[in-house]
Structure 1
Amino acid sequence: MKRYITLLFFGILNILVATSCSSDDKGSDKPTEPEIVAPVAIEKTNSTKIYMHYMPWFETNESSADKKWGYHWTMANKNPNAIGANNRREIASHYYPLIGPYHSGDKNVIENHLLLMKYSGIDGVLIDWYGTYDVNDYRMVKENTEQLIGMLDKVGLEYAIVYEDRFLTNVVNAGKAISVTSAAKTDLAYLEKNYFTDANYIKINNKPLLLNFGPVVLQTPAEWTNVFNTLTTKPTFLTLWDHSVKAGTNASGEYAWVYKDNSFLTNFYTNTKPKLSVAMGSAYPGFKDFYAEGGGGAAIGWTIEHNNGATLDATLTLAKNANLNYLQLITWNDFGEGTMFEPTVEFGYTYIEKVKTFAGVKNTESVFSEISKMYNFRIEKKGNTDVQKKLDQAFNYFVSMQPAKAKQLINEIK
């Protein structure tokens, strides 16, 4: 009996010591593992589905194999390695991203972009996509797209593809495909196998949504019929406004874009939308291309001034009055054409604040500056495992609609 009591005493002592050690570990430098949480949808009063057109085409000298900045930051004559007196890199744009020029496949950049979109009331991303072939920068665009897709479901956003058939001729000329239709079939088969089946791929009328920026190369209904015959499920296929005749009955509808002035949008809503089974409107903050200044070819030839946000206000009002089911924002980050909603040095968060108001986001707490601060810490504290895990937890709080907890964590970091 005495031996049993002695063993029991030492057993309890060991448990107390172990508990004490465990408690000490929690107070040590050992990073706390982030809590795994599911994304929660943002609450908003506007039932219109709001989608953001997105360019995944940016490269930096650190991300590219040849250690050169990508064309969309340089065009023909700009050098982002040159840093001006205002501490900004020289880029091919009239405007400057708030986080500076970036690589589209960078996980920290994608995190920043998607969190800003989520809290703006945006439902999903429409990704500008060049296909599957290793020609020019098309493979890079595809790889960056898949980095983006990899985080979309974690944030709780949907996505669909905007297919650029304009590049099919380049694929054939490079000897990668025997014809433009065979190249398109390969691209669409890849979409069906790898994207269309994703739970967060956008479906309209129970079919995967596919937009086309044109058509430009495949200009007859017969060609599109030939291409779609390889698919198990024909997509809900939208062409650029006034281009559905080129796809014939393969087209389910059209989407509006940006052109010259707002009268073209008014015409689309008044005269075209009533005739379409599926119509997607557009809103934009302005248009001012950099092609002539950047040596990237002739200027488009027209400009829509930003007018301190008045242009965006006007296009959002047109969208509201048109009672749209679907709205595409043009664009998150086409800096070369100056249509960006992404926060910039020039406009700050003005444009996404306007989207947030349009969407009727119920959570009115201001979080955009904290999301930017989070990105800055990702970069500044790159080698600090403890900080990175805190930021991972902040990310989880953001996506699960617990912004107060996220902000608290971020503001604890020095």
Structure 2
Amino acid sequence: MMVSKNAVERRLELLHDQWTEFAQLPEARLLRWVVEPDEVRMVEAFLHKEGDERLGECPDLFLRLEEPFDEPARYGYALRDALVRLAEESRADLEEDGLPGWKCPPVQDGGTDVDAFLAASDSLRAHYESLCEHLVVVLMPARGQDAGAWRKWLEDAVRKAASAHVRLVVLDDARTLVLEPLAEVWPERVVTIPAKLAMGRALEELSQEAGHLDTPGGKFREFFVRMGNAATKGDVEQVQQLGAQAVAVATAQGLYALVVAARFVMGGALLGAGRPKEALEHYRQAEAAAEASEAKGEPQGAQLRLRSRMAQGAAWVTAREYPRAAALYEETAPLARQLEDARLELECWRMASWCHEVTKEVERAWEHGQRAWEVGRAMDAAARETSTLPYVGEALVRLSHERQGPRAAQAMESEVQSVLGDDWRPEAPAAGGQAA
């Protein structure tokens, strides 16, 4: 009896077919997968599956490399080093199976970083040709924003790639199509395939496949999934209509955590549409539902209340009602402390400080910034790495200069550096004053 595939399995199968189509083209060297933001995780799931010898169905070896693209002229060397590390990690297992270890060819004098990377790739595939038809190198740089340099590097690689058994894969955002010029110049070597996974529809299919649509839980799930799809499309009115139905179902069952979730989607859609005052009302309703959850003794109630208040603060900031936002953040900080949520306590004081700075209340901004800094300093190193403490440090340096001049700013910067290290400054400004 054949078992029908679910929505996720059908999309993985579609990606498999797209890959196979590309792999069979003898002149192709680079697969440019054009993806919508909500398709990235599914493509990554396919690549992860194919990178696992126990799960993969393609006769190819997939290696995902996330080396940063910070230094374009050295990127190929970083990729070469990554291939060497991966080979070393697999050496023991391969030798147990009777396969000798691979030795990377030396870098040739006068060659470029691209030459070094391609030589290593060709050598690795030739060494393990009995294991795979193609060596597939998936390039997903963790950092590096220079689109022009990225295109130039890939063009050099595509132009020089000799072996049809080594293929490169990159993802190109459907919203920006950064690599479109490259595909136009090299149409046979750079193959463009839009993923077209319709992920919004996939979630609806999964909901329907899960069944029980006549139960409260099933009804809420269906409304909630459709809300998310409408929000992705920017259909705010549809979000509000479906959200009202979802809230009604959850409220009737006393499922207040679900009410909060629905209110957040409704508020987020309005916030994204530039309607913060309307979003604020949903976040207030979310807080009321969180209080009801808390009154029932549900452990998540207080945390939901905290999150609802943080969302209200964001709405006030978006509405440029900075004094109201500052007051809300100040009132919310004790709740974050009570819940031992240091990251959000820090964020409360940071945002209160930022709001006061915007309204030229330098001393109050300094006071609240100092409170945020104290919270951040008390965190362990791992927690600090995922917090907005660098933005606090940046603000305090700025405020020090405004209050007492360059010498005070330099002293503050030294203190920040002693806690966060030499490379402490944030890579980019916090959008709208917020980074959490």
TM-score category of the 2 structures, normalised to the smaller one: under 0.3
Relative to total residues, which structure has the larger helix share, 1 or 2?
Answer: 2
Specify the structure having the higher radius of gyration (Cα).
Answer: 2
Structure possessing the higher relative contact order (Cα contacts under 8 Å, 6 or more residues apart): 1
- TM-score norm. by structure 2 comes to 0.23
- TM-score norm. by structure 1 comes to 0.24
